[in-house]
Amino acid sequence: MTRQRHVWYMILLVGLCINRDPCIAIECTPSCQPPASTEEWFSDLMVCDIKPRNATLIWTRDADTTNASYIVLYEVTGNQIRSDLISGDEEQFTHVLTDLTPETVYEVQVCQPALSTCGNCEVEFSTPAAEEPSGPPAELMILASGPSTLTVSWSAPLLYPEVVLGYIVRCAPESDNSNIMELSRGNTRFNAQFHNLIPNTTYNCEVHTTSNFGNSTPATDTASTLPRETVPGLMFIVGQNFIQYVQLSESSLHPASFFSFLESTIDVLNETQITSDISGVDYHFHRNELYLTLSNGNVLQYNYSLSEDGVTIIFTVHPTPTVLYSCMQGNTLGAITVDWLFHNLYWLEYEGLFTKVMRMNLDSLQVVCEAVWESQRYRKLGIDPVHGYLYWSIDDVSSDGGLFRGSLNDFRSSQTSTCPQVDAVQEFVFSSANFTDFVLEPDVFIYFIAENTVHYIGFDQQNNGSIMGNNSMLLESFGEIIVTVTNNIGGRCNATAAKCEFYLALYNGNNIEDILVLRKSKQPLPAPPSFPADVRVFSGSESATVSWSRPSFVQSFFGQSAYSDWLYCVNYTTVDVPNMESNCTRDLQIRLSSLDNDTLYKLRVSAIGPGGERATPKEFVFRTKPAGSEGARLLISTDAAVMVSDLDGLNPMHISENEEITRSTKESNGVAYDIRSSLYFWIIEGGQGPLYRYNTSEDTFSNLVPSLDTPISLASDWVGRRLFWVQDGISVADDRQLKTINMDGGNSDIFDEDPRITSIAVDSLNGRIFWITGKVIMARKLSGFSKELCISVESEPLALTLDVEKKYLYWMTFNNEDNTVWLNQLDYTTDGCGTNAVPVELPGSLFVSSSRGVLTYGLGTLYLTTISTSGQSIYVFPADFASFTSIIGDSVKMAFGVIPQADVVRAVCVVSEILQPLPDGLVATGLSNVRAGQLSYAPRLRENESNTSVIVIEWGQSSANIPNSILYEVEYTLTPFRQPAMDPAKTFTTDTFIRLEDQTFFTEVNVTVTPHTLWLESNDSLSVTSVFSSPPSAPGKVMNVKAYVFRPSLENDNDITALIVWDPLDEVDAGGTVSNYSVSISGGSANLELTTMENESYFIVREFSNLNVLSYPLKNNEMYNVQVSAVNNGGTGVSSDSITLSTNDVSPPQELLAVTSGQSFLYGGSGVGATYVAVHPVSVNTISRLMYWYNSTINSILMQSLDGDTISVFLKDTPINVSTMAFEWQGERLYMAGENLTTNLFELWRVPVVYSKNIERVHTILDPVKSLTNLVVDSFRRG
| Residue 725 shares a structural domain with residue 868 | yes
- Confidence class of residue 962 from pLDDT cuts 50, 70 and 90? confident
Give long-range contacts, CB 8 A cutoff, 24+ apart: 1176-1180. Answer: 1177/1218, 1177/1219, 1177/1220, 1177/1221, 1177/1232, 1178/1153, 1178/1221, 1179/1221, 1179/1222, 1179/1223, 1179/1230, 1180/1153, 1180/1223
| Residue 170 confidence (pLDDT) | 95
| Residue 259 confidence (pLDDT) | 43
Give the CA count within 13 Å in the CB-facing half-sphere of 468: 1
207, 224, 241 - which closes a domain:
224
1017 domain-assigned:
yes
| Residue 160 confidence (pLDDT) | 79
| Residue 122 shares a structural domain with residue 149 | no
For the stretch 505-544, pLDDT in tens is 455 556 788 888 888 888 988 888 788 887 888 788 888 8
Sheet containing 633-638, strands listed edge to edge, beginning at the edge strand earlier in sequence: 653-654, 642-645, 633-638, 905-911
Burial class of 594 by CB neighbour count within 10 A (0 to 12, 13 to 18, 19+): exposed
Is residue 73 within 8 Å of residue 111, measured between CB atoms?
Answer: yes
Distance separating alpha carbons of residues 688 and 667, to the nearest angstrom: 12
Mean pLDDT of the chain: 80
466 domain-assigned:
yes
CATH of the domain at 471: 2.120.10.30
The β-bridge partners of 1226 are none
For the residues 1147-1153, what does the mean pLDDT come to?
Answer: 67
For the stretch 774-816, pLDDT in tens is 899 999 999 988 889 999 998 889 999 999 999 999 999 887 7
Angstrom CA distances, 511 to 243, 270, 271, 425, 473, stand at 12, 14, 14, 36, 12
452 domain-assigned:
yes
Distance separating alpha carbons of residues 754 and 447, to the nearest angstrom: 71
Q: What are phi and psi of 451, to 5 degrees?
A: 55, 40
Residue type, 264: S
300 domain-assigned:
yes
Q: What are phi and psi of 408, to 5 degrees?
A: -65, -30
Rg of the chain over all Cα atoms, to the nearest angstrom: 52
Is residue 1234 within 8 Å of residue 1217, measured between CB atoms?
Answer: yes
Range of the domain at 1161: 1152-1261
| Residue 517 confidence (pLDDT) | 87
Of 1203 and 680, the structure prediction assigns the larger pLDDT to: 680
7 domain-assigned:
no
| Residue 217 shares a structural domain with residue 295 | no
| Residue 509 confidence (pLDDT) | 53
| Residue 780 shares a structural domain with residue 837 | yes
- Confidence class of residue 202 from pLDDT cuts 50, 70 and 90? very high
Burial class of 213 by CB neighbour count within 10 A (0 to 12, 13 to 18, 19+): middle
| Residue 999 shares a structural domain with residue 890 | no
Task: Please provide the DSSP assignment of 310-344 as one string.
Answer: SS-EEEEE-S--EEEEEPPTT-EEEEEEEETTTTE
| Residue 646 shares a structural domain with residue 564 | no
CATH of the domain at 554: 2.60.40.10
Distance separating alpha carbons of residues 582 and 121, to the nearest angstrom: 69
For the stretch 914-951, pLDDT in tens is 899 999 888 888 888 888 999 999 999 998 898 888 99
- Confidence class of residue 120 from pLDDT cuts 50, 70 and 90? very low
1034 domain-assigned:
no
| Residue 573 shares a structural domain with residue 699 | no
| Residue 555 shares a structural domain with residue 410 | no
| Residue 98 shares a structural domain with residue 213 | no
Segment of 188-202, 838-852, 1002-1016 carrying the highest mean pLDDT: 1002-1016
Distance separating alpha carbons of residues 167 and 188, to the nearest angstrom: 9
181, 199, 224 - which closes a domain:
224
3-state SS of 977-1029 is CCCCCCCCEEEEECCCEEEECCCCCCCEEEEEEEEEECCCCCCHHHCEEEEEE
| Residue 476 shares a structural domain with residue 612 | no
1275 domain-assigned:
no
Cis-peptide into 1177, omega within 30 deg: yes
- Confidence class of residue 32 from pLDDT cuts 50, 70 and 90? very low
1147 domain-assigned:
no
- Confidence class of residue 122 from pLDDT cuts 50, 70 and 90? low
| Residue 1063 shares a structural domain with residue 1120 | yes
Give the contacts of 260 (CB within 8 A, at least 6 positions apart): none
| Residue 761 shares a structural domain with residue 837 | yes
Distance separating alpha carbons of residues 1241 and 27, to the nearest angstrom: 81
| Residue 780 confidence (pLDDT) | 94
Size of the chain in residues: 1279
Angstrom CA distances, 1022 to 931, 934, 957, 1008, 1009, stand at 11, 6, 12, 10, 8
Other CB atoms closer than 10 Å to residue 1165's CB: what's the count?
11
DSSP class of residue 686 equals S
**Total tally of structural domains belonging to the chain:** 8
For the stretch 330-376, pLDDT in tens is 899 999 999 999 999 999 999 888 889 999 999 999 998 888 887 76
For the residues 669-696, what does the mean pLDDT come to?
Answer: 89
Alpha helices by DSSP H, 186-335:
258-262
| Residue 1150 confidence (pLDDT) | 62
For the stretch 860-890, pLDDT in tens is 888 888 665 445 677 777 787 665 544 444 4
Q: What are phi and psi of 878, to 5 degrees?
A: -60, 135
Helix (H, G, I), strand (E, B) or coil at 657: coil
Helix (H, G, I), strand (E, B) or coil at 255: helix
203, 224, 245 - which closes a domain:
224
Is residue 1170 within 8 Å of residue 1180, measured between CB atoms?
Answer: no
For the residues 1164-1178, what does the mean pLDDT come to?
Answer: 74
Residue type, 438: F
Is residue 69 within 8 Å of residue 61, measured between CB atoms?
Answer: no
Other CB atoms closer than 10 Å to residue 1051's CB: what's the count?
7
**Residue 753 pLDDT > 50, yes or no?**
yes
Is residue 633 within 8 Å of residue 674, measured between CB atoms?
Answer: no
